[in-house]
A and B are shown apart, each in its own frame.
Chain A
Amino acid sequence: MNSEKFSIVQFVSLIGLILLMLWTAFPLYWVFNMSIQTPLDVISYPPKFVFDATLENYSVVLLGKAWLGKYETVQTDFPRYFLNSLIVCFGAVGLSMLVGVPAAYSLARYNFRGKENFAFTLLSFRFAPGLIVILPLFVIFRRLGIYGTYHGMMIAYQLITLPFSVWLMRGFFEDIPMELEHAARIDGYSWWGIFRKVDLPLVAPGIAATAILSFIFAWNEFLFGYILSSDVTRPVTPSLMGFISYEQVLWGQMAAAAIITLLPSLILAIFIQRYLVRGLTFGAVKG
């Protein structure tokens, strides 16, 4: 009786897993599908699962080459938006690391007044509505004349990358047993020597994972780039909004642009899979 019941449970589980995987994979598959269809195929009904694939959408998006024939294209500056995202995200992550690594170490290793208040303030940024910071920054940046500049955005992006980096790296530093540091101190290492020779090598994978995750969060961010950038410095996620008004004609190009935009995040995510749970919960859950 038990084995029969067991196999039914297994069968239902298998069906459940297949449905779950379809739910996850189908949208990705379908949008990729659309991205390699011609304008005629992409708006045909019923939708085409089999067709002659074309890379035209990608070349239009990346090179700004127009469709021949009756379908037009908007001239996008997609490669520049992509480059903008790279510049802003690298800058933002770099600044966060520069400032965040020492702060995380300090929070993990020393006790001082107001430490936990500071940590909670950082955490509360994670939950604050972005606009409450972005709108004042919009006004302030315009007055200071740094509205629409790369460095202005890098500073603004700290709201996303800094709390995350500090919290996550604090956890990584706390994972290193104090005994190791004590042993090194007895061996005559200075503070800087201990940090460099003992802590840093042990925490390096964690720092790398933190940097990559911050980069993904910055890359995925929409609102900051949408409001604080100019036409010249616009990052890639807000630039996608430009395709929407033309969606009737440009489905294939939108799909191609979406695929290009999501690739960096997806590829990086696969590399740091084992840190994802920890990263997404600010170190609260150790995966």
Chain B
Amino acid sequence: MASGMELRQSFWRKNIALLLFLPAFLLTVGILAPFGYSVVMSFTNFNLTTGTSNFIGISNYIKLVRDPEFWNSLKVTILFTIGAVLFEVGVGFIAAYLLNIGLLGQKLWRTLFLLPVMLPPTVAAIMWKLMMAPIQGVFNYLLQLVGLPGSEWLGSSSTALLSVILIDAYVFIPFAGMIFLAGVQNLPKEPYEAAAVDGVSNWFTFRKLTIPLLKPVIIIVLLFRIMDCLKHFDIIYAATKGGPASATMTLSVQAYYHSFRWTAMGYSFAHLVVLWAIVYALSYFLVGQWKKAVSEVHGY
């Protein structure tokens, strides 16, 4: 009896790491299964209405390469990502600076500043949609007050992409700003004291000291923002549904339409597999860069 219990105890002790880990591992495999399903189904002509699913090799991918709509959505996705990330990183940096110089009420401003990042993105999209309405919207009214021409905002194919970038920026500038702020607050004091003793200019200190020390934090912001923008769905879908005239048709929205409007699931999966490959490769690269930067700065 006793030995049996001891045996059980030692088994428990030996494998405790794996046992604790097992449920999460099973759930992860459960999540990976749909991934695999997507990849496999991207080689079929799986259709939701007819229920057919025959293996058709790489036909979906050949069709993809020849599909101008695919190239358009890839272009839109890349433009959206570049525009939104540049905007968010730029303003986020300025915001971090402004919230760190000790102006009166700093704590309150910081709290207010971070609120949008917690908004449901769809709600943010609806909020801005209401304000961007071309005729009764408050934005055009405010623009007109200061003598600027109004805009069609989301309603015109020439301004729609810019408008959804603005909405995304509203939600995610706080993300970039907060992380830069945390990075700035965690900067070591000594190198700056040394620089001050040496009488180095502010610009030089910023370029040669602050930027390199902030590199891990900058990479983290880029990693999260680039990945989120590439796979972007909710703000754009809630604001424009990909329109007008495919001006905001990102890859995810395009894939959604292929599966639910045209029920061409196989073709939709091909889109998603391509998008996922891009995202996976980029995130792998950026995570590597981040680890490198961390070891450069902190020496571990």
Residues on A close to B: CB < 8 A? 10, 13-14, 16-17, 20-21, 23-25, 27-28, 30-31, 34, 43-47, 98-100, 102-103, 105-107, 109-112, 118, 120-133, 135-137, 139-140, 155, 158-159, 162, 166, 191, 216, 219-223, 237-238, 240-241, 243-244, 247, 251, 254-255, 258, 261-262, 265-266, 268-270, 273, 276-277, 280-281, 284-287
Complex-state Cα separation, A123 to B174, whole angstroms: 22
- Is B1 an interface position by the 8 A CB rule? no
Contact between chains at B34 and A133 (CB < 8 Å):
yes
Contact between chains at A24 and B255 (CB < 8 Å):
no
- Contacting B123 at CB < 8 Å: which of A46, A121, A240? A240
Residues of B within 8 A of A123 (CB): 283, 287
Residue in A105, A237, A262 whose Cβ sees the most chain B Cβ within 10 Å: A262
Interface string of B10-43 (1 = CB under 8 A from A): 0001001110110111011011111101100100
A-B contact pairs, 26 of them (CB 8 A): A14-B103, A17-B99, A20-B98, A21-B112, A21-B113, A24-B174, A45-B135, A112-B21, A122-B28, A124-B284, A128-B231, A128-B279, A128-B280, A129-B230, A129-B233, A129-B255, A139-B265, A158-B31, A251-B130, A266-B119, A269-B114, A270-B115, A277-B181, A277-B182, A281-B179, A285-B217
Residues of B within 8 A of A20 (CB): 94-95, 98, 113
What 10 pairs between A and B have smallest CB-CB spacing?
A: A110-B17, A103-B24, A136-B34, A269-B118, A129-B231, A102-B20, A127-B227, A220-B120, A106-B20, A136-B37
Contact between chains at A135 and B272 (CB < 8 Å):
yes
Given A247-B129, A266-B119, A276-B118, 15 more A-B residue pairs with CB atoms under 8 Å apart are A16-B94, A24-B113, A30-B127, A44-B136, A103-B24, A128-B280, A129-B233, A129-B255, A129-B276, A129-B279, A220-B121, A244-B126, A244-B238, A255-B130, A285-B183
Complex-state Cα separation, A132 to B124, whole angstroms: 24
Contact between chains at B112 and A166 (CB < 8 Å):
no
Contact between chains at A25 and B31 (CB < 8 Å):
no
Q: Name the prevailing secondary structure of the A interface residues.
A: helix
Q: How distant is A169 from chain B, measured CB to nearest CB, in Å? A: 11
Chain B contact residue count (CB 8 A cutoff):
93
Contact between chains at B127 and A45 (CB < 8 Å):
no
Q: Which residues of chain B from 106 to 152 have a CB within 8 Å of any chain A CB?
A: 109, 111-124, 126-131, 135-138, 141
Residues of A within 8 A of B129 (CB): 244, 247
Residue in A125, A158, A255, A277 whose Cβ sees the most chain B Cβ within 10 Å: A277
Contact between chains at B21 and A103 (CB < 8 Å):
yes
Complex-state Cα separation, A271 to B234, whole angstroms: 26
Contact between chains at A107 and B224 (CB < 8 Å):
no
Contact between chains at B224 and A102 (CB < 8 Å):
no
Contact between chains at A102 and B136 (CB < 8 Å):
no
Q: Which residues of chain B from 72 to 118 have a CB within 8 Å of any chain A CB?
A: 94-95, 97-99, 101, 103, 109, 111-118
Residues of A within 8 A of B192 (CB): none
- Is B273 an interface position by the 8 A CB rule? yes
Complex-state Cα separation, A274 to B281, whole angstroms: 32
